[in-house]
Amino acid sequence: MTSLIGHEAPNFVAQAVKNGDIIDVQLKDYRGKFVVLLFYPLDFTFVCPTELLAFQEKIKHFQDRNCEILAISVDSVYTHRAWWNHELKAVSFPIVSDITKTICLNYSTLIDKGISLRGTYIIDADGLVQHMAVNNLGIGRGVEEVLRLVDAIQYHKSHGEVCPANWHSGDRGIIPK
């Protein structure tokens, strides 16, 4: 896996489902905002809906941080829409279709089975990848940890201080000497 940390996030143009509608999404249109990319294996599975619904429950917290969420899998927009209609009507962020598997390949989440691992990427307002983590198929993500990481990245960028282990918003950073 090639590290994208500190590099410009690979742009993509794709179709997505947002609030039941099929829309076009381009990553570069999100410049000026933080973006969390959530790669997941497949629609209509077991862990995936729990993750998307958990991120939706905290969507206001992300938006308060000038941060948008995009979920991405190799399913078609038609499968995404059927899944959204079936059990994800609460999800308001775009669910991106990577039917060609190009996005997953560019972000190193694609596996031999032709599906994506659970990748989490945090991209800053300048379009640079600041965080990447990839979980195996059976391990869901923690929303609070992703929020903490967004806070830490924003704090570091605005204050120049580094954030020690278990740092949370409101804690002091460390001034590098």
Strand partners, 18: 21
Residue closest to 50 by CA, chosen among 18, 80, 81, 91: 91
In a domain, 48, yes or no: yes
Report the mean per-residue pLDDT for the chain.
97
SS3 158: helix
In a domain, 112, yes or no: yes
Number of H helices, E strands in the chain: 5, 7
CATH number of domain containing 152: 3.40.30.10
Q: Quote the number of domains for the chain.
A: 1
In a domain, 176, yes or no: no
Question: Which residues does the annotation mark as catalytic?
Answer: 48
Q: Which amino acid is at 55?
A: F
In a domain, 3, yes or no: no
Q: pLDDT digits over 7-20, tens only?
A: 999 999 999 999 99
| Domain span including residue 125 | 13-159
In a domain, 70, yes or no: yes
Q: Which long-range contacts (CB under 8 A, 24 or more apart) does 16-21 make?
A: 16/70, 16/77, 16/80, 16/94, 16/95, 16/96, 16/97, 17/77, 17/80, 17/81, 17/84, 17/94, 17/95, 17/97, 18/92, 18/93, 18/94, 18/95, 19/92, 20/81, 20/84, 20/85, 20/89
Q: Which amino acid is at 67?
A: C
In a domain, 169, yes or no: no
In a domain, 121, yes or no: yes
Predicted confidence at residue 163, as pLDDT, reads: 95
Q: What is the average per-residue pLDDT within 137-144?
A: 96
Contact 9, 24 (CB under 8 A): no
In a domain, 4, yes or no: no
Q: What is the average per-residue pLDDT within 79-93?
A: 97
Token pair 């800053």 in the structure block, residue? 124
Predicted confidence at residue 41, as pLDDT, reads: 98
Predicted confidence at residue 1, as pLDDT, reads: 64
> Per-residue pLDDT for 176 more than 90?
no
What does R_g of the chain's alpha carbons equal in angstroms? 16
Predicted confidence at residue 2, as pLDDT, reads: 77
Predicted confidence at residue 177, as pLDDT, reads: 83
Q: Percentage of residues in the chain with pLDDT exceeding 90?
A: 98
Q: pLDDT digits over 43-60, tens only?
A: 999 999 999 999 999 999
What is the DSSP annotation of 16-60? EEETTEEEEEEGGGGTTSEEEEEE-S-SSSSHHHHHHHHHHHTHH
> Per-residue pLDDT for 6 more than 80?
yes
Q: pLDDT digits over 88-135, tens only?
A: 999 999 999 999 999 999 999 999 999 999 999 999 999 999 999 999
